[in-house]
A = this chain, B = another copy of it.
Amino acid sequence: MKNADVHHPIFDEIADLARTLGHAHRLVLLRHIADGELAVEQLTQLSGIALANTSQHLQQLKRAGLVQTRRDGKRVLYRLADGPIENVLGALRSLANHRREQIRELIDDTMSRPDSLESISREELVRRMRDDEIVLLDVRPREEYAAGHLPGAINIPVGELEERLAELPREKVIVAYCRGVQCVLSADALAILRARGWDSRRFEGGLPEWLNSSLDDDGMNYESG
């Protein structure tokens, strides 16, 4: 748009793309859209962003080619466009985490304990659930929990966790999970739990991985899409 003579126009294109990702609201919306097609109003509810504002951010994402739309009755459904979008998000996320860790290593020691964010494997999870050693904690928003969750999991959205700690048994290991490997909600939950003295782990698999590998036939509470 400006000094096009300086270098190559692809830098402008990449910059436009990056700028589109340069707002927390749009990242939040993308995250939700990545889980499946959603209408605008659902997105406002999941994200807490005002309606018109949501719509405008969505349109920026659309202009940038990151999402596509389709009409269904009076609703407009947004879905991820194809292309390596999640690669970009994943790369950005891991870079941000990298920075985070570097900062934490300097100022914080509780969080930098090597096992503090350690995840628990699916096999170990199943075994220890059977032995009733652990409590499985779903920290996603109410709506997502309602739409389907792991068997035996209780739901405390991470925003309410601090107030509702009393619901968790002190003597058991708390295993938090959320949407999948990229989801940070459960990591956040761990921070809270560990700060209050719970022995907590993270189930990295999250819901999608569990679903993809029907490990047991205990019955999932999956109701609808």
Contacts and interface: CB of A to CB of B under 8 A. Distances in A.
Contacts of A48: 3, 5-7
Count chain B CB atoms within 10 A of each CB in A23, A65, A184 and give the residue with the most: A23
A214 interface: no
B22 A19 contact: yes
Interface residues of A, number: 53
Interface of A is mostly: helix
A42 to B, nearest CB: 15
Contact of A47 (B6, B22, B28, B94): B6
Contacts of A100: 10, 13
Contacts of A17: 92, 95-96, 99
30 contacts: A2-B24, A3-B24, A5-B159, A6-B24, A6-B28, A6-B49, A8-B184, A8-B185, A10-B97, A10-B100, A10-B184, A11-B27, A11-B28, A14-B96, A15-B21, A15-B23, A15-B24, A17-B92, A17-B96, A17-B99, A18-B18, A18-B21, A18-B92, A19-B22, A21-B22, A83-B95, A84-B91, A88-B88, A88-B91, A91-B91
Q: Which 4 A-B pairs have the closest CB atoms?
A: A19-B22, A18-B21, A11-B24, A18-B22
